[in-house]
Amino acid sequence: MVLNPPPHQHEQFILKSALYSRLLVLSLTIAWRILASPYDSSAPLNLPCLTANHTHTHTLPQSQTLLLPKFAFALENGVVWDSVYFVRIAQCGGYEYEQTYAFLPLLPISISFLSRFLSPIFAPFVGHRAVLAFSGYLICNVAFVFAALYLYRLSMIILKDPEIAFRATILFCFNPASIFYSSIYSESLYALLSFAGLYYFVRGGNNLASLFFALSGCARSNGVLNAGYLCFQTMHRAYNAMFQQKRTALALGTVIAGALRSVFVFAPFVAFQAYGYYNMCKGRLPDELRPWCKARVPLLYNYIQSHYWGVGFLKYFQLKQLPNFLLASPILSVALCSVVYYAKSRPENFFSLGFRTSIEEKSSGVVFLSDDFRSKKAGNVDKSSVKAKENSNLTKRKKVTEGAVGEVNMVEPATRPGYFSACVLPFVLHLAFMAATVFFVMHVQVATRFLSSSPPVYWFSSYIMAHPTKYRRWGYVIWAYSAAYIFLGSLLFSNFYPFT
């Protein structure tokens, strides 16, 4: 169902697919804006900033108001939903209202930075806000292209199967939440930073991975959950050092290093909460303080989510929200099947959190044991033997999928390639936590974009698409679901109608 070029051309094909998918979504967005009437026509409104020192001189002069009016209007008309907040923060150079602190600073900072170079050239023709909007579009769409590339490289390391990795990445290029990756939303930046962090993480570059994870926490709040990968690895490395190698000092050093990296990942988000506390609480009289300022742990983000958007455990379980649950049901179903299928296929690995995985499989894994231990286990293994093992895994996967359905469970756990490998476990656990959070705590309709940056969603979908018998029809269903949501999302979202 997906064109499959030779493996050496995969990255080039993925870059083209990512670009074409963004052009498709942007074209659909423009077409729907022309053909349909927006529910809310206030998108082009541009009220003055509350702080006088952020008034911009690159406004539209009267003598040039007709020079590029349609282009400027099209750009500003695309600033809808959360895009309004991101552009406003970048335009005014800070957070003006309490609820705007729900939008983390990385995207507004990036927009502001890029617009400083573009404004002197384009602002006299289209206005400063249009330049900000263009900067946001450029950043988000370019970030998406590189996110696709990093997802493919990550998938190749984890799955060791070019076909599955390639198909999974193409699925990401045309994922159901595509409209958000081509709009001024933080999804693209978050996906890029998360995938890049995971890529360097599985390659053993924990310090660089921690940096990318920390930056992902500056883009979206759930970026701090990427610290879970570091904690998972630290847990297994410390266990191995303590009970397998009998080296207490190494175990202690492993725990300390893992804890420091995890703190580093949380630091930007915590610093942003402190920044909000300083701006909203410090220097105010007691009767002027907001309720969250008086809390023992004054978390601005949690208060905003609860007070302004009604986010909380089971708060969204209302009969009137049934359409939103239906809207989110496809992605939640894929996520649930991804977790359950892995758990049923690798029950000992899943329910023991990987501790009952064989030492041989751990030593070949990229997220369990220390680099020193892996290098000792690898010993004299050269590149040709590694390549031979990958080819062997690919052959085994093909034999499994070409046989009867019942033959899938006949493959020994230690030899299961692709989605069944032990290395997939922390990704599945991360997806399970994310899916449970969005279902029980958050506005459930955001599940489509909230889970769209989780690799197992695409790995599992790609795996079942490769099955020629039982699951083949589900491949068509997944592609139909993605196509429908791309068209529906570009219609509704771009015209200020609610969509996830």
Mean pLDDT of 218-228: 96
Secondary structure (H, E, C), 201-264: HHCCCHHHHHHHHHHHHHHCHHHHHHHHHHHHHHHHHHHHHHHHCCCHHHHHHHHHHHHHHHHH
pLDDT at position 265:
98
Q: What is the pLDDT of residues 321-339, one digit of tens each?
A: 999 999 999 999 999 999 9
Q: Coil, helix or strand for 285?
A: coil
What average pLDDT does this structure show over 177-194?
97
Give per-residue pLDDT as tens, 114-156.
999 999 988 888 888 999 999 999 999 999 999 999 999 999 9
Question: To which H or E segment does residue 395 belong?
Answer: helix 383-402
In-domain check, residue 119: yes
Q: Taking residues 173-178, what's their average pLDDT?
A: 97
Predicted local distance difference test score (pLDDT) of residue 200: 96
Q: What angle do CA 255, 260, 265 make, to 5 degrees?
A: 125
Query: Among all chains, which residue has been given the structure tokens 């879970």?
Result: 228
For residues 340 and 334, give the distance between their C-alpha atoms in angstroms, rounded to a whole number. Answer: 10
pLDDT in tens, 359-410: 656 655 555 554 443 444 444 434 444 444 445 555 545 444 444 333 333 3
pLDDT at 270: 96
Residues 333-350: what's their mean pLDDT? 94
Q: What is the number of domains present in the chain?
A: 1
Percent of the chain at pLDDT > 70 equals: 82
Percentage of the chain beyond pLDDT 90 is 65
Residue 370: inside a domain, yes or no? no
Does residue 398 fall inside a structural domain? no
Residue 367 lies in a domain: no
Instruction: Report d(CA 83, CA 204) in Å as an integer.
Output: 36
| Res 52: pLDDT | 55
Q: Is the distance from CB of 18 to CB of 144 less than 8 angstroms? A: yes
DSSP one-letter code for 470? T
- Residue 42's alpha-carbon distances to 95, 160, 498, in angstroms, are 21, 49, 15
Convert 76-102 to b/e letters by CB count within 10 Å (16 or more is b): bbbbbbbbbbbbbbbbbebbeebebbb
Under DSSP, is residue 441 helix (H, G, I), strand (E, B) or coil? Answer: coil
In a domain, 443, yes or no: yes
Per-residue exposure over 312-331, b if at least 16 CB sit within 10 Å of its own CB, e if not: eeeebeeeeeeebbebbebb
- Judge whether 481 lies within some domain: yes
Of residues 43 and 241, the one with the higher pLDDT is 241
Examine residue 424 and state whether it is found in any structural domain, yes or no.
yes
pLDDT for res 391: 54
User: In terms of residue numbers, what domain contains 124?
Assistant: 7-36+66-353+418-496
pLDDT at 414 over 50: no
State the DSSP string of 261-289: HHHHHHHHHHHHHHHHHHHHTTT--GGG-
pLDDT at residue 354 above 70?
yes
253 pLDDT above the threshold of 50: yes
Mean pLDDT of 62-81: 69
* Short-list 348, 341, 344, 345, CA closest to 362: 348
Number of residues in the chain: 500
Q: In this predicted model, which residue has the larger pLDDT, 244 or 20?
A: 20
Q: Is the pLDDT of residue 62 over 80?
A: no
* Confidence (pLDDT) at 53: 54
Mean pLDDT of the region 190-216: 97
Residue 55 domain flag? no
Tell me what the pLDDT averaged over the chain comes to. Answer: 85
Query: What is the arithmetic mean of pLDDT over 67-96?
Result: 86
- Of residues 458 and 39, which shows the higher confidence score? 458
- Tracing tokens 């933080």 back to the chain, one arrives at 186
Non-local CB neighbours of 390 within 8 Å, separated by 6+ positions = 160, 161
